[in-house]
């Protein structure tokens, strides 16, 4: 016979502590499979791992361990602090800092064997001068701007530094790279335009391994692979292309506990702003998750436009009313009473309502939702190997 205690464990492992209000399950087996698929699509090019922003909000250390176990040997992070954390996990990896060379911070890179991505002429000159001072041929990447107008050497800068070969004798240019602006749109002409500009500008620099592709670029084919690809969102289960099927396995499942249930009569309102009013006698569950946990406020539901459906077991439960800081209200009218009870769990993101489903509805992208996931959500890393240890 199913007890009340067992029912409250639907969709979460029995090991979840009693005081956990919401649970994020991170499937490292799926993560490794996603990276392996990207590695296969990259052909002869090396497949790196992008673990910036705390591995897209999922935890840099366990993600770096899992990718290392699968064979990843090159990582990209945004900040020096992330680089130091990654170095503590993988002593032998090549770790690139996408922020580049901060002024007067050269020793912080060299001290941890971190590689700045040099994206301007001053950065390149400072790194060359530092290496000359030390008498060490330290590695760095050089980034070229091929049309994104964000970070990277402009064509005029490339021409100037190309005329000074002594600059490149001072350090080891381990990689020359650029970044695709529209790789998530397979037919966008800017992809080929950037590739051709990349080839034209890098030909002016000393020969070095080359990298252009992010997640989308990895699926654009061999002309975009060069020597190394740098997938990010696809590793974490997000789609690489807009409007196309997603071949990646879901990595995250977010569930929240029911705090309270109440009956709502026809015409009664639910939540801030009274944006939802019941059109039938309803049973409403308030669950312990909100935008402070990373569930976007844009996923709120009104009577005219219901929010996304969470799940209790196999039963869909749509979000009704506004998502608030700590709470979401869902309609559990059609869920059998033994399942919709205080203390039970509602899955609000997972295999049935995916990361991409939610962000499409919210008018944003998977990167943002993942990066917003709060540390106050209890985390479980599933599929760890003995090398990864427990967390």
Report the alpha-carbon angle 322-7-252, nearest 5: 55
Alpha-carbon gap, residue 327 to 134, rounded angstroms: 56
Structure tokens at 253: 């499942």
Q: What is the DSSP letter of 17?
A: -
Query: DSSP per residue over 161-177, as a string?
Result: HHT-HHHHHSSEEEEEE
Rg (CA), the chain: 24
Choosing from 52, 56, 291, 311, the catalytic residue is 52
Alpha-carbon gap, residue 327 to 212, rounded angstroms: 42
Choosing from 236, 272, 375, 381, the catalytic residue is 272
Long-range contacts from 266-270, C-beta under 8 angstroms, 24+ separation? 269/321, 270/320, 270/321, 270/329
User: Among 285, 303, 307, 305, which Cα is nearest to 295's?
Assistant: 307
Q: What is the DSSP letter of 207?
A: P
Alpha-carbon gap, residue 269 to 376, rounded angstroms: 29
With contact defined as beta carbons under 8 Å apart, do 252 and 27 qualify?
yes
Alpha-carbon gap, residue 84 to 95, rounded angstroms: 9
Q: How far is CA 23 from CA 2, 179, 227, in A?
A: 22, 35, 39
| Residue 375 annotated in active site | no
With contact defined as beta carbons under 8 Å apart, do 318 and 331 qualify?
yes
| Residue 52 annotated in active site | yes
> Which single residue is written with the structure tokens 């060490």?
136
Alpha-carbon gap, residue 60 to 77, rounded angstroms: 10
Give the residue numbers marked as catalytic. Answer: 52, 272
């Amino acid at each position: 016979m199913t007890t009340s205690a067992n029912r409250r464990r639907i969709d979460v492992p029995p090991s979840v502590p009693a005081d956990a209000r919401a649970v994020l399950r991170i499937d490292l087996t799926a993560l490794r499979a996603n990276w392996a698929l990207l590695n296969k699509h990259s052909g002869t090019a090396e497949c790196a791992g992008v673990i910036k922003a705390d591995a897209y909000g999922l935890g840099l250390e366990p993600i770096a361990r899992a990718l290392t176990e699968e064979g990843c040997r090159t990582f990209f992070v945004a900040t020096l602090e992330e680089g130091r954390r990654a170095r503590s996990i993988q002593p032998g990896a090549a770790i690139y800092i996408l922020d580049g060379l901060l002024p007067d911070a050269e020793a912080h890179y060299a001290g941890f064997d971190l590689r700045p991505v040099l994206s301007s002429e001053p950065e390149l000159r400072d790194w060359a001068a530092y290496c000359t001072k030390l008498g060490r041929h330290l590695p760095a990447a050089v980034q070229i701007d091929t049309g994104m107008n964000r970070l990277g050497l402009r064509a005029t800068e490339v021409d100037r530094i190309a005329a000074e070969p002594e600059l490149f004798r001072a350090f080891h240019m381990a990689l020359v790279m650029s970044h695709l602006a529209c790789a998530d749109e397979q037919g966008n002409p800017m992809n080929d335009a950037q590739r051709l500009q990349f080839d034209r500008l890098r030909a002016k620099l000393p020969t070095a391994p080359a990298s252009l592709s992010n997640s989308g670029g990895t699926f654009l084919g061999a002309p975009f692979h060069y020597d190394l690809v740098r997938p990010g969102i696809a590793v974490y289960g997000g789609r690489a292309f807009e409007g196309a099927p997603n071949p990646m396995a879901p990595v995250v499942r977010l569930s929240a506990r029911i705090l309270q249930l109440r009956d709502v009569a026809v015409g009664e309102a639910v939540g801030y702003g009274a944006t939802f009013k019941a059109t039938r006698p309803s049973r409403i569950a308030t669950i312990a998750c909100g935008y402070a946990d990373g569930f976007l406020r844009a996923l709120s539901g009104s009577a005219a436009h219901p929010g996304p459906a969470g799940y209790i077991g196999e039963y869909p439960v749509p979000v009704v009313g506004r998502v608030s800081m700590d709470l979401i209200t869902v309609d559990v009218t059609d869920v059998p009473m033994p399942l919709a009870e205080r203390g039970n769990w509602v899955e609000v993101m997972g295999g049935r309502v995916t990361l991409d489903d939610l962000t499409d509805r919210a008018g944003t992208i998977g990167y943002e939702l993942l990066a917003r996931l709060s540390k106050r959500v209890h985390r479980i890393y599933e599929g760890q190997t003995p090398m990864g240890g427990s967390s």
